[in-house]
Amino acid sequence: MKDERGVVLVTGASGFVGRHLVLALARDGWVVRRSVRKPSGREGEVVVESIGAATNWQHALAGVDAVVHLAAHVHRPHEERAVEVYRNVNIEGTLHLASSALNAGVRHFIFVSTILVHGRSNDGRTPFREDDDLMPRGLYGMSKAAAEAGLKTLAQGAEMCLTIIRPPLIYGSGAKGNFALLQKAIGLGIPLPFAGIHNRRAFLAVDNLSSFILHRLPRRDEKFEVFLLADEEQVSTPEFITRLAHAAGGSVRLFHIPRPLLSALLRVSGRKEVKESLLGSLEVDLSKANATGWRPPITLDEGLRRALREPDH
């Protein structure tokens, strides 16, 4: 282990990304303080039952050098009071934590946002860049964009460095959502109707995200920076599915349904977000992240192989 770099507070530490990041930080020499909703008895835990505008962060932030804010409220279909919950947690909760961190003398605050602040697709357009006008989609994307705007205002004249990371779909061992659904369908041998899809999409291995956070944490050259991240390869949906199947040591049966019909079927079934995330293109320009000297340390294929391992705890 390297010499200790300092103390870093990770919110959402028990989640998919948080579990991977905590291990990476510890290996890199950071003292990790894990913010969790329910205690598990592990070393370095601090219990924060809810995140909002009134959360008391004093104990959690005592002696902390950096914060990585992963915790967020994510989409749940047909959820009551959704607008209020997204505002309380993703916007007001984020800004209150950042302000508390600033008052506690934290030197670097990293906020993991989402590529959805740009929209769900860039079909017919150039890859997304950090300086594009934002066009957030859905309550989740809009709440993250609002939190980003508040953080940018907070950064003005502040001594604390703020970094915003906008990832696309993050995959890895223990991932949920669309990645878990694809993994399950492949494992069951279910034929998938994506042979006729010719898009290009960005994906991000959780180990590559962790690597960039480690790369960025010690740097305080700019007070406010935004980065788009993805694996080096940006591939079509059927290519991603095929390579996931190969990583599992098998194959997948893809068949062709004309895209307009497939799009209509997904829309009628109420899976509009799935339709956009599987059929449309979503490419990102990595030149800004690469200009920092960072490169994704693992390939798409290696990331998929690691994703099929049992989750680390």
Tokens matching residue 151: 């953080």
Neighbours of 104 (CB within 10 A): 17
The whole-angstrom separation of Cα 282 and Cα 288 is 17
Q: How far apart are CA 21 and CA 210, in angstroms?
A: 5
Cα–Cα distance, 168 to 184 (Å, whole number): 21
**What CA–CA distance (Å, rounded) separates 280 from 274?**
10
CA distance linking residue 165 with residue 274, whole number of Å: 23
Categorise residue 77: left if φ over 0, alpha if ψ from -120 to 50, beta otherwise: beta
Q: How many residues does the chain have?
A: 313
The rounded distance, in Å, linking the Cα atoms of 7 and 60 is: 11
Q: Give the residue numbers annotated as catalytic, written as ranges.
A: 140
Kindly report each contact of residues 175-181 with a partner whose C-beta sits within 8 Å and lies 24 or more positions away, as own/partner. Answer: 175/16, 175/206, 175/307, 176/16, 178/274, 178/277, 178/278, 179/307
| Residue with token string 């059927």 | 238
**How do strand 6-11 and strand 66-69 relate by DSSP bridges?**
parallel
Q: How many CB atoms lie within 10 A of CB 258?
A: 10
